[in-house]
Amino acid sequence: MERVYLDHAATTPVDSEVAEAMARILSETHGNPSSIYAEGRAARSAVDRARDEVAAAINADPSEIVFTSGGTEADNLALRGTLRARRDERDGLVTTAIEHHAVIDTARDLERHDGARLGVVGVDRYGVVDPEAIRDAIDERTSLVSVMHANNEIGTIEPIAKIGAICRHEGVTFHSDAVQTVGALEIDVREIPVDLLSINAHKFYGPKGVGALYVRRGTRVATMQTGGGQEKGRRTGTENVAGVVGLGVAMRIARERRATESPRQSELRDRVIAGVRARVPGAVLNGHPTQRLPNNASFCIPGTDGESLIVALDLEGFAVSSGSACTSGETEPSQVLLALGMDRELAKGSLRVTVGRSTTASQVDRFVDALSRVVARLRESAAVAV
């Protein structure tokens, strides 16, 4: 049975060119980038080239790129670092009810243990944040606003340019978790008024365990760990040279392919949505009908539960999820779906399908066929049990 991978929002396969570049570093470039002899200079050169590639992909200056261990650390550095840097002036943090746990849990931890004043803004039924609600939540003590660029579960793209403009007018630092959008959407930090932007390599065919935080020049961010002073003291610790190189190559490839690959994936996404609506009675599309990630199709299917759907589809040869991979083991409905005002029982039947570079139309059609059979079987079993 051919396996079909349809969970690219959780992680993506490492691109062969990325793997080859990392393998060369691991076998040929063993120096410490902080060392001044030849081996160290070679490693530093590789890190610098990767920094240039990451910066070019979002139109940033290389000096504004801070390498991290991934999106979670980038989010933590943005939130904790900003509040620590400005704690004598402002202690307020505003975010939304649909953020990734790396943001919302960090925000709640800052409220609980650091005395931060936390404001959580709701969303509409499509998961869209109203910029005016953000404006209303900002006061004279607000230090930071954090709104994701697009939601990882339901795919809705947020109006971060408008929100960033409000933050700039109010003198508030603006952070956006762009883990799902970097590589898929055009992002120009000179056009979007964002001060901090989180990036994660394994969401666009790079390695796991490496990411970056864009820090606009002049933005105050305190370091969260002490040590050797790497990354200009903003993220100290010996650089993961091979991982950083993989991140840089992955971003360059994504940038080169985006103009053709994102529209292709959008067509496959729409094929999934149309097929599920036609073949699965009662299926509800989650998220905005048009303003959504190119690869994301999210549903709630009445009369089923997410875990049973995933297991049954896995046996059919399809890898899908019920939402964020970071919380896939939880039995409670997603906080994101509940924030949309969705009924709790319906929310338990969530299913996320995310296509990728290797996905074909025939695979999508096979998936829809399998899903229709699985849902019919699960509903029949549930009816018999009652």
Catalytic residue numbers read 326
d(CA 57, CA 197) in angstroms, rounded, equals 13
Spell out the residues 6+ positions from residue 299 whose beta carbon is closer than 8 angstroms to its own. 276, 280, 283, 284, 285, 286, 350, 351, 352, 353
Distance CA 37, CA 57 (A): 31
CB 222, CB 32: distance < 8 Å: no
DSSP letter, residue 63? G
Determine which helix (DSSP H) or strand (DSSP E) holds 247, and give its type and residue range: helix 241-279
Token look-up 């990734």 returns 100
E-strand ranges in 156-303 read: 173-177, 196-200, 211-215, 284-286, 296-300
Q: How many residues does the chain have?
A: 386
What CA–CA distance (Å, rounded) separates 86 from 106?
17
Token readout for 184 is 């898929």
- Residues with Cβ < 8 Å from 218, sequence gap 6 or more? none
Q: Which residues, listed in sequence order, are joined to residue 353 by a DSSP beta bridge?
A: 297
Vertex 137, ends 132 and 138: CA angle to 5°? Answer: 100
Residue 168 tokens read as: 């700039």
Q: What is the DSSP letter of 157?
A: B
